[in-house]
Structure 1
């Protein structure tokens, strides 16, 4: 099992707007059945993708109905997160863990929030 850390990305969003936080595996997975993806902000759950299904079971309530992914993109290895109705409290470092059988990928995305 190899651990790999990607370069940090920076995304700028505006209060009340939306931002897409990038997260993808370098090669499209052969099968997405066994892949788990976990999005975290300050250690709190933002969104999970478990066996191809989005899961909000552990999601912190601040992200209810504001976090979404793009299921049609999973097969290409794209597990990016779209955060809607941005708030000042959304600013900070997000971590996206992609857990495949042999490789664990970690994306670190810094979200900067600008006022209107």
Structure 2
């Protein structure tokens, strides 16, 4: 009798253990997607089970309001987060096999973060998490020269970018100020200022942990620009001086010519007066 009781206890324990692993919910660790694109967040049951009569809930920070809810065989949008309105869809083509990914359309920077896929049946539940990273390559950096300082600015990055300065030999230049902040679109802007270095040109490169490309680069030849400005200034000064000298010479020539003409008219008047007097005599 005691052996039967022990056997029953062992069988009951095994049965409960089997129930506790009735299915597992799985996804992938992370998904990256470009800003404005559509993204697919996977959610799968293992082993395969029909999920038509289960509750499938996608949520972020809290159980409710949710990102998307499928319950009682249909989608329920009554407590959906406002930012996801008309942008989500639970794909049900393979729901009988325990596969029901979520589509989020036209992703924004605010959509970045962790998502939870919670699945509940009549006798079991499980949950998996996936990290969504929305990426954005910002604008081409703009370098500006102001007296003894140089600034570099780039906008609309995600995730948070970093900025580096290098000279013509590839040596890094330390920034005197770096500012990174979110704009109205929840994307990152970055601004950096350095003291003007003794280099023939400088490079400002902006990148982040996702976008490693250096196509966001602008080069400004400082010495050449300064030399050009100096040369233009010298040309202006020389040209103005030449014009003034020419104007002065013309004025002197005109003055001399006027004196000559006045003297010539006086002599003519004298000779004419003398001739008239002789005739009268």
Normalising by the smaller structure, the TM-score range is 0.7 to 0.9
Q: CA deviation at 1:75?
A: 1.1
* Residues 1:108 and 2:126 aligned together: no
TM-score, normalised to structure 2, is 0.38
The answer for the alignment partner of 1:94 in structure 2 is 115
* Residues 1:54 and 2:75 aligned together: yes
What is the correspondence of 1:1-116 to structure 2 with a 5 Å cutoff? 2=20, 6=26, 9-30=29-50, 32-33=52-53, 35-43=54-62, 44-116=65-137
Q: Which protein has greater RCO, CA pairs closer than 8 Å, 6+ apart? A: 1
Cα gap change, 1:13/1:2 in structure 2, threshold over 3 Å: closer, same or farther?
Answer: same
Describe the superposition over 1:13-39 as per-residue Cα deviations: whole angstroms up to 9, x where unpaired.
111001100111113325622x00110
TM-score, normalised to structure 1, is 0.87
Q: Does structure 2 retain, via aligned residues, the 8 Å contact 1:11–1:111?
A: yes
Q: Does structure 2 retain, via aligned residues, the 8 Å contact 1:52–1:74?
A: no
* SS of corresponding position for 1:102: coil
* SS of corresponding position for 2:129: strand
User: What stretches of structure 1 move > 4 A for 4+ residues in a row?
Assistant: 3-8
Q: Which structure 2 residue ranges, 5 or more long, are not aligned?
A: 1-18, 138-281
- Pair member with larger Rg: 2
C-alpha distance in structure 2 between counterparts of 1:47 and 1:36, whole Å: 11
Q: Does structure 2 retain, via aligned residues, the 8 Å contact 1:15–1:115?
A: yes
Q: CA deviation at 1:94?
A: 0.2
Q: Which structure 1 residue ranges, 5 or more long, are not aligned?
A: none
Q: CA deviation at 1:7?
A: 6.6
C-alpha distance in structure 2 between counterparts of 1:31 and 1:38, whole Å: 12
Residues paired across the two proteins, number: 115
Describe the superposition over 1:18-70 as per-residue Cα deviations: whole angstroms up to 9, x where unpaired.
1100111113325622x001100122400001022111111011101111111
Q: CA deviation at 1:80?
A: 1.0
Q: CA RMSD of the aligned region, Å?
A: 2.0
